[in-house]
């Protein structure tokens, strides 16, 4: 057990086999691609599927002795979908909620996954299911009903046998005010001054994403190249800083992508760069949070163009980091959950490289008044739903309702 201020962390070890089958295997080579509409990348293996359920069973048995009678249990994300069903089997009657941070795909995609019934049935062991957007909740409901695994009395209430549960959307927020203050303070640091100096008057465009195929990084670089080629006057006037910390390097698709993005950035820089101007600065490692906040604030434009994203917190952080007097523009994929709330962003289809390039040109030329109007609209949304209200709303829903045994899972 590890204690940090008022939080106790219970830690447990996994074997190499567990990590390979459960985490790298089923979670990241089946569920992640399926939920991001990449059927082509999903690799099903019986061993990995069994590993996923086995490790969730193991987590449940480790958690069991720590659960108090009145505890609310809130489980997060796709690695842990079967955890409630495992806890129910071991006799837990507490209220249990689940929040899915990633998208829930359309039924034709989800139902292509071999163990889709087991995954859907496991979800019915929860009392409250949370999704990022209404679209995700509706996709989930369509899957459940299409498979005949439950019935629905209204938008949010579902019944499966003797049990009922609710499924709602709870768009996740950020610490809006704290992030804004962090960005304001960052403008005073020496890193910030050095960065400004190195830009030498050129406009900064920023992209920040974990290295992941769902984030649309290669399409974005194509769009930026297209923008520079069609707008030669902008060459030498802007620089794209793409910050892309490595992630999941043990999974082959990620390793290949690491090479592909570095080569692509190198090719664009070779083709368009000059002795004193580099179009793309590509940083393949993580920055400290205050530094990141300061860079967001310095940027005239953020390119947040995932092909599919549950929410995308970078979009929200970028907006919160802007100065009211001279805010930058957010160019946002309509396939990010954040697009449902940030309607004042410049919304793009990231698959449309030329359309995105045109939107870059429009955003860079946007008059101050329009930038301020859009920013105000987006800040209103971020203040109205920050991470604290997200948490309170979910836990409020989880704490109201009956405790009950789960009878359908055998």
Residues that bind ligand GDG (CB under 6 A): 101-102, 172, 208, 210, 243, 245, 286-289, 292, 309-314, 317
Is residue 195 within 8 A of residue 23, CB to CB? The reply is no
Give min distance, CB of 169 to ligand GDG, in A: 12
Active-site residue (options: 127, 136, 309, 397): 309
Q: Which is nearer to ligand GDG, 104 or 406 (CB)?
A: 104
Cβ distance to ligand GDG smaller for residue 184 or 231: 184
For 355, the enclosing helix (H) or strand (E) is helix 353-364
Output the CA–CA distances (angstroms, integers) from residue 207 to 99, 204, 224, 290, in the order listed. 27, 10, 11, 16
CB 166 within 8 A of CB 138: no
The minimum distance between CB 100 and ligand GDG, in angstroms, equals 9
**Shortest Cβ distance from residue 32 to ligand GDG (Å)?**
9
Under 8 Å between Cβ of 380 and 391: no
- Give the active site residue among 101, 117, 142, 222: 101
Minimum gap (Å) between residue 287 Cβ and ligand GDG: 4
**Between residues 29 and 163, which has the closer beta carbon with respect to ligand GDG?**
29
Residue 200 is among the residues annotated as catalytic for this protein: no
d(CA 233, CA 211) in angstroms, rounded, equals 31
Q: How does DSSP assign 175-231, residue by residue?
A: -HHHHHHHHHHHTTSHHHHHHHHHHTTPEEEEEE--S-GGG-HHHHHHHHHHHHHH-
94 three-class SS: coil
> Is 157 a catalytic site residue?
no
> For residue 9, how far is the Cα from the chain centroid?
24
Q: Which residues are catalytic?
A: 101, 309
């Amino acid at each position: 057990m590890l204690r940090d201020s008022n939080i106790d962390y219970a830690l447990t070890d996994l074997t190499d086999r567990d990590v390979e089958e459960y985490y790298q295997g089923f979670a990241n080579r089946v569920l992640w691609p399926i939920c991001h509409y990449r059927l082509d990348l999903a690799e099903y293996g019986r061993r990995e599927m069994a590993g996923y359920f086995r490790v969730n069973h193991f987590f449940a048995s480790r958690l069991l002795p720590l659960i108090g009678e009145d505890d609310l249990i809130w489980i997060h994300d796709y690695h842990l979908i079967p955890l409630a069903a495992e806890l129910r089997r071991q006799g837990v009657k507490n209220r249990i909620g689940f929040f899915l941070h990633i998208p829930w795909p359309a039924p034709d995609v989800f139902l292509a996954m071999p163990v889709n019934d087991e995954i859907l049935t496991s979800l019915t062991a929860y009392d409250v299911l949370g999704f990022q957007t209404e679209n995700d909740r509706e996709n989930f409901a369509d899957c459940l009903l299409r498979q005949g695994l439950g019935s629905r009395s209204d938008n949010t209430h579902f019944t499966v046998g003797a049990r009922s549960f609710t499924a709602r959307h709870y768009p996740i927020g950020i610490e809006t005010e704290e992030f804004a203050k962090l960005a304001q303070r960052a403008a005073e640091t020496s890193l910030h001054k050095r960065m400004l100096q190195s830009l030498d008057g050129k406009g900064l465009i920023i992209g920040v994403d974990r290295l992941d195929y769902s984030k649309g990084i290669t399409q974005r670089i194509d769009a930026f190249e297209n923008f520079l080629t069609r707008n030669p006057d902008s060459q030498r006037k802007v620089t794209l800083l793409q910050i892309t910390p490595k992630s999941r390097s043990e999974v082959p698709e990620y390793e290949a992508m690491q090479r592909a993005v570095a080569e692509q950035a190198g090719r664009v820089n070779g083709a368009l760069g000059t002795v004193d101007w580099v179009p793309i600065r590509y940083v393949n490692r993580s920055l400290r949070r205050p530094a990141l906040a300061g860079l967001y604030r310095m940027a005239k434009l953020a390119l947040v163009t995932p092909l599919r994203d549950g929410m995308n917190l970078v979009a929200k952080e970028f907006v919160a980091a802007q100065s009211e007097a001279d805010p930058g523009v957010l160019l946002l994929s309509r396939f990010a959950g954040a697009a449902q709330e940030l309607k004042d962003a410049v919304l793009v289809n990231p698959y449309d490289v030329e359309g995105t390039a045109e939107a870059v040109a429009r955003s860079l030329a946007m008059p101050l008044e329009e930038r301020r109007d859009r920013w105000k609209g987006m800040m209103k949304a971020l203040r109205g739903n920050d991470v604290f209200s997200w948490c309170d709303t979910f836990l409020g829903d989880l704490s109201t309702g009956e405790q009950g045994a789960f009878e359908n899972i055998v």
